[in-house]
Amino acid sequence: MEIIYHGHACLSILLNDGTKLLVDPYFTDNPLAKRQASEISADYILATHGHTDHIADLIPIAKKEKATVIAIAELATWVSQQKIKAHGMNIGGSFQFPFGEVKMVFAQHSSSFTKGEEIIYLGEAAGFILQADGKTLYLAGDTAYFSDMALLKNDFSIDVAFLPIGDNYTMGLTDATKCAEAIGAKQVIPIHYNTFPAIQQDPEAFVALLKEGQGKVLAVEESLFL
Ligand code: NI
Ligand code: MN
């Protein structure tokens, strides 16, 4: 598989069978983005939660691509109300998709969408364990560090974990380092940093806190091949 980091928490995961997955689409108004939503293709879109910096381009890309959105039940319902195909899941549940298996796992965060004066409730924030092409990825989503993360390593041998390090809204460097150790990921890629003033971090300083060779910083639009 090829994984492309689009900046913030947005990734494309291109599988060997040609299936294109997109995670937390955020191109429009993303100060880090180098591409536009209109250029992005996807068969499935995995959305960790409803905050704008994770679903800003979800509806337009899903519409254009006739993609299926995979998200927690409430977010999936909101998406399907907009005539988009959605597959609702909930925390602790796994599902075998044609491209591989997805387990929705816990994240400690909130989830809502602000529309004018209204704040729409969109369920809980979540993370995903994705097993495809013989690899296991942990897409942590926005989350605090919590001790139950350590349980993931009982069930999964995580090849690559994508962990938020920006602090303020999510784990910062110290907590993301604790998470990396707890889950026993072979490789850790920092995400969700340097997009806004409140989440300025040095990703190389994070890598320096990890085990030798464990961390890797991806530049925006850089690919990781597994
Ligand atoms: Ni968030
Ligand atoms: Mn976020």
Q: What is the mean pLDDT of residues 90-97?
A: 98
Q: What is the pLDDT of residue 155?
A: 97
CA of 40 relative to ligand 1 center, distance in Å: 22
Q: Nearest CA to 24 among 53, 66, 64, 62?
A: 53
CA of 14 relative to ligand 2 center, distance in Å: 23
CA of 52 relative to ligand 1 center, distance in Å: 8
CA of 110 relative to ligand 2 center, distance in Å: 10
CA of 149 relative to ligand 1 center, distance in Å: 18
Q: Phi and psi (nearest 5°) for 124?
A: -90, 155
**Residue range 13-54, pLDDT digits in tens:** 999 999 999 999 999 999 999 999 999 999 999 999 999 999
- Asked whether the whole model's pTM tops 0.95, one would answer yes
Rounded Cα distance between 26 and 153, Å, is 29
Q: Nearest CA to 72 among 52, 107, 95, 48?
A: 48
Q: Hey, which bits of 176-221 come out as E strands?
A: 187-191
**Residue range 170-194, pLDDT digits in tens:** 999 999 999 999 999 999 999 999 9
Q: What is the pLDDT of residue 48?
A: 98
Pick the ligand that lies closest to the CA of residue 165.
2
**Residue range 201-223, pLDDT digits in tens:** 999 999 999 999 999 999 999 99
Rounded Cα distance between 24 and 98, Å, is 20
